Structure formats: C-alpha cells, structure tokens
A and B are shown apart, each in its own frame.
Chain A
Amino acid sequence: ETGVTQSPTHLIKTRGQQVTLRCSSQSGHNTVSWYQQALGQGPQFIFQYYREEENGRGNFPPRFSGLQFPNYSSELNVNALELDDSALYLCASSFRTSVLGETQYFGPGTRLLVL
C-alpha cells in the first residue's frame, strides 16, 4: 500500500508568482484535503476534493484553487503569491464513507517560502 506523497518537498518563490503543488493519494482513497500550516500553529483547512469536485472550503481567498484527477491525485494552485503564503502545505487523503468522521492520512508536506 502506497502512502500519500507530495511534490516538491521545498520551494522558493517571489511575491506575485504562481505555484502548483502536487499530491498523490493513498491507494484506495477517493478524497483529498489540503491544509496550510504556519509556524507554531495547527493546520488550517484550505479545501477538499471528492470525485474531482471541490467539496468544502475553508477561509482562503479564490487565488487558492485546486484540482482532483480521475486517479484521485490532486493539485493546489496559488496565484499572486504573498509573503504570508509562506508555510507548510499538507495534503491528506481519506476514503469517503457514510460513517461519521473519516480519518485523514497526511503526506510529508511541501515547504513554501515566498520572498
């Protein structure tokens, strides 16, 4: 069973640029969630994708967008980067069921630095 993988591991961009982060779900999982974790804080929910559609969004502006592909892998795109976007970006996959509370499994994250 393959776990959640993310690429790249580290990235440096300048303000105003655009970035694409990638995530491969754990085998058998159909749902991907993206989180932003600033230093010293818990992860903040960005959005979730289920069956290639956005299925819930946190308090992030529209310049944060995403995609989910038929193989359940996903991308997070951030346009017009700001200094405050510097953070660890975490991808989590899970299997959507009708049971309350699904457990999410995380990748190692992508560390983004915006200069």
Chain B
Amino acid sequence: DQQVKQNSPSLSVQEGRISILNCDYTNSMFDYFLWYKKYPAEGPTFLISISSIKDKNEDGRFTVFLNKSAKHLSLHIVPSQPGDSAVYFCAASVYIWASNYQLIWGAGTKLIIKP
C-alpha cells in the first residue's frame, strides 16, 4: 500500500527547459512534504519542502506546488541544467507520536537532462 506515489520512473528533459516531477499521496493527514535529490553512491540531499498551509514554495530554480484537494504535488525546475540529472524523491512527513515524525517516501523519478 503505497501512500506516496511517483508514477514516472524516469523523465528526460532538454537542457534549459522546464522539468516537472509529480507526486501523489493518499493520506490526507500528511501535512509536510519534502523533495530530495539523490546521486549514485550518495545519500539523498534535501532540496525544498512545503507545508500543507501553503500551495507554493520557491527556492531559486526550484518551485514546489501543492494541491491538497487533489492530493498532488509537483516540483518544477527552471531552467534545467545537466547537474540536475539525478533521482528525485518525494517524501511526506507523518506524525507518529510525542512530536515524532516519520518520512514516507515515493519510489523516485530518474531525471535525465539532455544537452
């Protein structure tokens, strides 16, 4: 039972264009979402996050949009650069107990930026 789904295993985008990575979730109790980037042989690197009280958060070339009614979020990268080629994970934070939060992860989308 996947609570966080990234339905595209891979995405290929031309350098300079916009990359849009999508993520769907099923649990309406999720209230904080994060995107991580992962290169081979490295741990995930935090990119950007969004709280459920917002519908958009921007940080440089990265923007995350949250549509709570559709239980959908997306990460936009503009413009895409060769160094953006990596696996991108969407994660949702869920409250367990006593201020303890667990991350529930999607399976990842491999982004390939073509020169």
Contacts and interface: CB of A to CB of B under 8 A. Distances in A.
B107 to A, nearest CB: 5
Interface stretch (B44-52, B55-63, B65-73): B44-52
B24 to A, nearest CB: 14
Contact of A100 (B6, B31, B44, B97): B31
Interface residues of A, number: 30
A101 B31 contact: yes
B13 interface: no
A48 interface: yes
Interface residues of B, number: 31
A98 B101 CA distance: 11
A14 B22 CA distance: 39
Contacts of B51: 100-101
B34 A106 contact: no
B103 A33 contact: yes
Contacts of B107: 40-42
Interface stretch (A50-58, A60-68, A71-79): A50-58
Q: Which 3 A-B pairs have the closest CB atoms?
A: A101-B32, A42-B105, A106-B43
Given A44-B105, A100-B93, A107-B43, 20 more contacts: A4-B43, A33-B103, A41-B107, A41-B108, A42-B105, A42-B106, A42-B108, A43-B44, A48-B100, A55-B98, A90-B44, A96-B99, A100-B51, A101-B49, A101-B51, A101-B101, A102-B101, A103-B34, A106-B46, A108-B41
Interface of A: 4, 6, 33, 35, 40-45, 48, 50, 55-56, 58, 90-92, 96, 98, 100-109
